[in-house]
Structure 1
Amino acid sequence: MALRSRKTYGDECFEKWEFVSSGGFGQVCKARLTDLRIDVAIKILHDGSSSSSMILRDEAKCMDMASFNFVVRLYGMYQGCPPGKGPSTQQGLVMEFMEGGSLQSLQEKLCDLPPWPLWPLVFRLAHEVAQGMNFLHTEHLMHLDLKPSNVLLNDNLNAKIADFGLSRVSASASNSNKETTGAIGGSFKYMPPEALESSSYEPVRSFDVYSYGILLWTIATGKDPYPLANYDRVESNIPQGDRPFCKEIEQMKVDGLKELIPLMKECWHGNPNQRPTFMQCLDVTEKVLSMHSMGIDDAVRQVKRLMSPNSNTSNTSEATNVSLQTAEESTYDSVDFGGITETGRSFNQVCASTKTMSIQDKAKFVDRNWAKLIQAVSEVMAITEALGDMVHPETLSKIERQDTSQDKMRMLHRPLRSGGDKVKAAFYDALKAQHCHLVERLGGSF
């Protein structure tokens, strides 16, 4: 069978061109492939030099080798003059169009309003990325740039790995501008310590495994691992053992996290020989996905509803202050992290700030926004446990047995209703500590 990278499409093959995005490599357009009646993505290079053309052909060859369910499909090469690009001939790749955008764009759109994540979808994404990466490694390919923007989503929010511009069959390295991509290619926040320490480092498969560990953290939290850190800081701190802070997700009462968090830490282990293979990762991700398989369709529907143009959910993304943290630390009073929550406030600051509202005001907030809270709150068990003796043990047990966060919230409403303003105010305080952005958006006081 002929390689897809040897099939070339010209301008006559396309109609309905639309600009999608651009980057350092060039731009991506959406177009209609007329003979197949499907929409495709066309990645077009800014630079038409011979060296750039060779890089493009190398990427196409890697995509040919990586034909798999969880890898973006290549249809062929493009050569022509796309609309708005002038009369000169451009080259590009014709690929499967992913209607759902990227994992990064999904996280930016959802932000935490309601809070990321919807757990069944999280576990499916983790498993599908591991499946895609395992296939690449069995084909003796290394991706070398695994990150949220390179995990694309189809209309049903299934994950497919994309952007093979840095992929290698051998262990050769690609030199790039380290301020944007790191010393040897790839995004520096997802690069392992051994790559940051040595300019002569030649990547091996454990490079991708480390990147996957950081990606798991971003999938579970919906956040950038080090939003305020530049390359120099990452280069200095990561080899010393610093990693994204895990205390917040370790406290979440979600089935599967007690298996996923240790996997995450094993993947980002400082010693590359101690990291698991992707086959070993699949043993874990398949298990945790099975715990949530019944909730996937509902989670996908919720995300689509939130992303629809008619949704009332704000897409404003606020920078979060998650600083570098040594992986072994487990207390809130570390020097680097300082107990910072998702809004940049310490836990004590959050609790103190709620005192600016009276008990009656807090209760009115809960009553006024209860319908929205049912849909938005994900950390129901953490909030319930913070209420302590205000929730009867039998009721607590019933809440734990509910399948979804919405059902847990409905069950929790009983002790709130019977306990009056005092219990509702305590719920408000616990809610504020877990979901500051949500409380602020709904009119709560800081």
Structure 2
Amino acid sequence: MALLSHRETVVRSENLAPVADWQEVGRGGFGRVYKIRHKDWGFDVAVKVFKRNASNKEACFMDLASNEFVLRMYGIYEGPSGERGLVTEYMRRGSIESLQKRLSGPPPWPLAFRLVHQIALAVNFLHLKNIVHLDLKPSNVLLDDTLNAKLADFGLSKVSVNVMMMRSSLQAGPQGTFPYMPPEAFDMSYEPVQTFDTYSYGILLWSVFTGKEPYEGVNYTLVELRIPEGDRPPCGDLQRLQVVGITDIVDLMKKCWDKDPAKRPHFKDCLKTTERLLSRHSNGIQKAVYEVLTILDSTNQQGAVNDIMDQGPVIKHKLPSLSVSGKTVTRNEKAKFVDRHRHVLIQRVSNALAIAEELGDMVHNETYNIIQAKETSENRLRVLYSATLHSGGNKVKAAFYDALKRYEPDLMEDLESQPGSPK
């Protein structure tokens, strides 16, 4: 017997918890999204209830696009009064947008590199299925329980195969979210192709790594005027970061948002870059996920949002207490480690400026300016040791140790394998 597709699986109100128990988790021009317990399945689902007369084409695209990095659809919702919608997996970790707000900035670098690679995997899969998403943005990238990316919201998606033969059937005019739309899309006669997604991905890269919304606070009318003129989000702060691979990410985003669609890379080429960069940060992913989940699971007490480590010169956060192999490393042990390996750390640490930035107010402004003026990481570490670590006591040394775990995972793994290091 043939298996039913997701579109043929119908979920009705009697299959779900009483309406009084429905929890609204989102709304938009399409309608509303609710978190609901499915009585028969025994777990929570998300039900996206469309407004009256809304198209149900999104289900078709989600069915075609089904893969590891696209939101899983379970079926179609049919309400008692004719309401229709989608039943999907419930993503309790929210979206990249909600994560940015909770962290007041970007996620830890290893997680950021994993997210953008997974988004590229999802879009590449769509394009191989001849589907154009047309609305790539942080709020449409959802996060599973371990912070893996799942692409969602296919309400604007279109089939891109044989575009020249489909001109009469495609709806003309700009579609999508203005800051993420390519310049050609502001032409009312534009008909979407895959390079639309490529441009949006470039802007999305910028948003993921800065933790900001592009053109925030700028009137959309001005955005519409300036994007075709070549205006793009500023990359200066990103380019100044001492983070492995950040230069390549900036280069990729600039290629993706090129004004000429023909010059934008195919997603298979984007994947080559994101996969290579992810491999350089893979050792730090588990720790980064743990840190972020600790934040998300914390209570909403004052200061909870600031418990994640710093990502660069834009945002300052505090580092949560970490453990190694299940055992908490004490402040005294961290300080002893920093003192014992002083000479090796000065010679081998490559992210001195980012680490000094992470220490925040522990580094005096004058000292930070001196560190910033030094041309090599080795000289920056010498200043940091002599001016800050030497006089700051165990508290500062422990914070420095935590920053090293974040920015120098391979080096720390090597040093911690030596006798006498905290385990």
**TM-score, normalised with respect to structure 2:** 0.72
1:397: Cα distance to partner?
7.3
Q: Does 1:65 align with 2:70?
A: no
d(CA) in 2 for partners of 1:389 and 1:273?
Answer: 40
d(CA) in 2 for partners of 1:7 and 1:392?
Answer: 62
Q: Does 1:138 align with 2:128?
A: yes
1:256: Cα distance to partner?
1.0
Query: CA offsets per residue over residues 259-301 of structure 1, 9 Å max, x none?
Result: 1110010000000000001100000000110011010111111
| C-alpha distance 394-239 of structure 1, shift in aligned 2 (>3 A) | closer
Give the partner amino acid of 1:96. E
1:184: Cα distance to partner?
2.1
1:292-303 pair list within 5 angstroms: 292-303=281-292
**Which of the numbers 198, 203, 208 marks the counterpart of 2:192?**
203
SS in 2 for 1:31: strand
Contact conserved, 1:44 with 1:93, CA < 8 A, in 2? yes
1:111: Cα distance to partner?
0.8
Instruction: State the match for 1:432 in structure 2.
Output: none
Instruction: State the match for 1:22 in structure 2.
Output: 27
Contact conserved, 2:71 with 2:89, CA < 8 A, in 1? yes
d(CA) in 2 for partners of 1:174 and 1:389?
Answer: 53
| C-alpha distance 250-389 of structure 1, shift in aligned 2 (>3 A) | closer
Contact conserved, 1:252 with 1:382, CA < 8 A, in 2? no
Instruction: State the match for 1:273 in structure 2.
Output: 262
SS in 1 for 2:159: coil
| C-alpha distance 381-250 of structure 1, shift in aligned 2 (>3 A) | farther
CA-based RMSD of the aligned residues comes to 3.0
Instruction: State the match for 2:417 in structure 1.
Output: none
Instruction: State the match for 1:416 in structure 2.
Output: 388
**Which of the numbers 101, 114, 118 marks the counterpart of 2:108?**
118
**TM-score, normalised with respect to structure 1:** 0.69
Contact conserved, 2:203 with 2:214, CA < 8 A, in 1? yes
d(CA) in 1 for partners of 2:368 and 2:265?
Answer: 35
1:243-262 pair list within 5 angstroms: 243-262=232-251
Q: Does 1:3 align with 2:8?
A: no
SS in 1 for 2:136: coil
Structure 2 unmatched runs, 5+: 164-168, 307-312, 316-334, 336-351, 359-366, 397-423
1:413: Cα distance to partner?
5.7
Q: Does 1:166 align with 2:156?
A: yes
1:205-224 pair list within 5 angstroms: 205-224=194-213
1:378: Cα distance to partner?
9.0
Structure 1 unmatched runs, 5+: 82-87, 176-182, 317-340, 344-370, 372-376, 400-410, 425-446
Instruction: State the match for 1:99 in structure 2.
Output: 92
Query: CA offsets per residue over residues 223-277 of structure 1, 9 Å max, x none?
Result: 0110122221111111111100000000000001121110010000000000001
Contact conserved, 1:390 with 1:415, CA < 8 A, in 2? no
| C-alpha distance 342-173 of structure 1, shift in aligned 2 (>3 A) | farther
1:388: Cα distance to partner?
3.5
1:321-332 pair list within 5 angstroms: none
1:418: Cα distance to partner?
3.3
Instruction: State the match for 2:142 in structure 1.
Output: 152
d(CA) in 2 for partners of 1:36 and 1:260?
Answer: 42
Give the partner amino acid of 1:100. R
| C-alpha distance 120-382 of structure 1, shift in aligned 2 (>3 A) | same
Give the partner amino acid of 2:63. D
Contact conserved, 1:144 with 1:186, CA < 8 A, in 2? yes
Contact conserved, 1:32 with 1:38, CA < 8 A, in 2? yes
Give the partner amino acid of 1:98. M
Contact conserved, 1:253 with 1:382, CA < 8 A, in 2? no
Q: Does 1:184 align with 2:174?
A: yes
**Which of the numbers 360, 370, 384 marks the counterpart of 1:387?**
370
Give the total of aligned pairs.
Answer: 332
SS in 1 for 2:290: helix
Contact conserved, 1:41 with 1:95, CA < 8 A, in 2? yes
d(CA) in 2 for partners of 1:265 and 1:281?
Answer: 12
**Which of the numbers 63, 84, 89 marks the counterpart of 2:82?**
89
SS in 1 for 2:35: strand
**Which of the numbers 18, 42, 45 marks the counterpart of 1:40?**
45
d(CA) in 2 for partners of 1:6 and 1:297?
Answer: 38
Contact conserved, 1:32 with 1:39, CA < 8 A, in 2? yes
d(CA) in 1 for partners of 2:369 and 2:170?
Answer: 50
Instruction: State the match for 2:343 in structure 1.
Output: none
1:385: Cα distance to partner?
7.0
- Percent identity over the alignment? 44
Q: Does 1:239 align with 2:245?
A: no
1:412: Cα distance to partner?
4.2
SS in 1 for 2:78: strand
Name segments (4+ residues, structure 1) moved above 4 Å.
Answer: 171-175, 381-385, 389-399, 411-414
Instruction: State the match for 2:36 in structure 1.
Output: 31
d(CA) in 1 for partners of 2:194 and 2:155?
Answer: 16
Contact conserved, 2:374 with 2:380, CA < 8 A, in 1? no
